[in-house]
Structure 1
Amino acid sequence: MRNWFRRFLRPASLDPDSWLRACAGVPFVSALDATRKARLQALVTRFLHDKTITPIGDLALDDVQRMQLAALCCLPLIEFGEEGLHGWSQLLVYPGAFRVHRAHTDAADAMAEWDGVMQPAHEGYEDLIGEAWEAGPVVLSMEDVLADLAAPRDGCCVAVHEIAHKLDALDGAMDGTPPLPRAWQKEWARDFQQAFDHMGKQVDANRRTKLDPYAAEAPEEFFAVCTEYHFSAPALLREAYPKVAAHLAKFYGASPMA
């Protein structure tokens, strides 16, 4: 209830000096034009008002670092708007990669069960640098966020990857398609499916791909990985999948690294 009420309060303005320092340390932000930077500042103000940024373990975050994390999370929302912040309230930040427990279900094995209950076929641990829970927080590795800032043209930006997942989930299905007008949604689905299928064939054939092969894992990962390339290596994305690049330029606005 408290978080719901906070949405209707006017957020406090950002400290101007801290915001300037934050912008200077994020190449994706410092490259924006004045109009889009002002939109981002408004989104960051709302983000810091509505959401809790929680460092994990021994990690400590100062005000400038918190602004930088918020700015990275809000980059994909400059055109979409603050509706993209709905549905979650916490950003968890680990010092580095974090380990999660996974239980994978084998549908074929489950079909053999008389009661129809899905049974975990195998389980284990994964080391991650980012995660977006469909109905929960966004989780980031600070070490990898800093690596992205140090190499902003390398095709990697874990924060925008996870926010792409949050945008994807807004229409109730994490399937690689965020909320769009119906006509655009059809074009998007067609062009992304063709590109995803091509990527999958390349990976299955053990061929070298222009984009990170992780994009072939699932449609939602293809969308999130392409989002990273839009913000950090847009020329490479255009070379690999020009129709996908055009959709993302329309959805997110021009890449600051273009």
Structure 2
Amino acid sequence: MPASWWRRFSAYLTPPPLADAPWQQALSDCALARRLESARQDELRRLVAVFLARKRFHALAGAELTDAMRVVIAMQACIPALQQGPKALRGWRNVLIYPGEFKVRRHYHDEPSGVVSEGEEVLIGESWERGPLVLSLADVQLDLEHPWDGFNVVVHEIAHKLDMLDGPADGVPPLPPSIPRRQWIVSFQRAFDHLSNEVARGRDTLIDPYAAEGADEFFAVVSELHWSQPGVLRRADAQVADLLEAYYGPSPAPR
């Protein structure tokens, strides 16, 4: 086995620690990571090194992606994966970065009529099962500037990635033994049904109405709240807040 191949493979499995200068710059830019306890910051630093070794960034449509921003994106992507560790990053490789919102073409199938139609959708982020993570750079930067406003596109899309570790996104990621699967399903379904009813009636909700689009989006949206507005999430649904804290660990965001 050639020595150069073995060195590359070893670096993939156990990459060297992230250098101090880019790490400190990323901490300065990312309030969420900066507020983590020191032990969790150490875990995050190791996981970010794994992310950067295993993922490939691609700047598209003229996006200006610096090395510093790569580290910050990796940092935000790894925070929701801290409890699960490197295994949570498996199954995909590429990170696609657009300068801002991007358009995707969708095919829609109307089952009663059998008619298939096409349309465009404007997005700021997207996750494909076993495919790339796609992000709007402008929205990543906006989230860094306003870390406690309830939104974080990187966290949202990584929540989908975690959800898809065991198949298509359904709002139920692979759970640790400490979280009963039935308890998760019952609690999240009840909360999702309640939100859907409130949205259908045109009522204001603490949880973004977009979460009513489906169980997968509900999980991703409440994940954003866990990391940016945990107090709002707890007021909206204490059971969901407890389950997310058990799954992700405590949020360092202001209460």
TM norm structure 1? 0.92
Q: Is the 8 A contact 2:124 2:153 kept in 1?
A: yes
Q: Distance in 1 between matches of 2:58 and 2:110?
A: 35
Structure 1 counterpart of 2:22: 18
Q: Which amino acid aligns with 2:145?
A: A
Secondary structure at the aligned position of 2:58 is classed as strand
**Residue 59 in 1 paired to residue 55 in 2?**
no
Q: Is the 8 A contact 1:53 1:91 kept in 2?
A: yes
Q: Is the 8 A contact 2:12 2:50 kept in 1?
A: no
Gaps of 5+ in 2: none
Q: 1:99 to 1:6 in 2, by over 3 A?
A: farther
Counterparts in 2 of 1:171-250, with a 5 A limit?
A: 171-181=166-176, 184-250=180-246
Secondary structure at the aligned position of 1:19 is classed as helix
Q: Distance in 2 between matches of 1:254 and 1:26?
A: 17
Match of 2:77 among 65, 69, 73: 73
Secondary structure at the aligned position of 1:180 is classed as coil
Q: Which amino acid aligns with 2:171?
A: G
CA-based RMSD: 1.7
Gaps of 5+ in 1: 111-118
Q: Which amino acid aligns with 1:81?
A: G
C-alpha deviations, 1:11-58, integer Å up to 9, x for none?
133121111011110011011110111111111000000000111122
Q: Distance in 1 between matches of 2:32 and 2:176?
A: 28
Secondary structure at the aligned position of 1:256 is classed as coil
Give the Å deviation of 1:96: 0.3
Q: Is the 8 A contact 2:175 2:247 kept in 1?
A: no
Give the Å deviation of 1:10: 3.0
Q: Which amino acid aligns with 1:147?
A: L
Q: Which amino acid aligns with 1:25?
A: D
**Residue 252 in 1 paired to residue 248 in 2?**
yes
Q: Is the 8 A contact 1:129 1:141 kept in 2?
A: yes
Secondary structure at the aligned position of 1:207 is classed as coil
Q: Is the 8 A contact 1:12 1:49 kept in 2?
A: no
**Residue 44 in 1 paired to residue 48 in 2?**
yes
Counterparts in 2 of 1:130-209, with a 5 A limit?
A: 130-181=125-176, 184-209=180-205
Match of 2:101 among 84, 93, 97: 97
Q: Which amino acid aligns with 1:108?
A: P
C-alpha deviations, 1:105-152, integer Å up to 9, x for none?
112223xxxxxxxx52x2210110000011200000010011111111
Q: Distance in 2 between matches of 1:5 and 1:220?
A: 35
Q: Which amino acid aligns with 2:190?
A: Q
Q: Distance in 1 between matches of 2:34 and 2:220?
A: 23
Q: Distance in 1 between matches of 2:70 and 2:175?
A: 30
Seq. identity, %: 43
**Residue 126 in 1 paired to residue 130 in 2?**
no
Q: Which amino acid aligns with 1:227?
A: S
The number of residue pairs the alignment matches comes to 247
Q: 1:219 to 1:7 in 2, by over 3 A?
A: farther
Q: Which amino acid aligns with 1:55?
A: A
Q: Is the 8 A contact 1:40 1:75 kept in 2?
A: yes
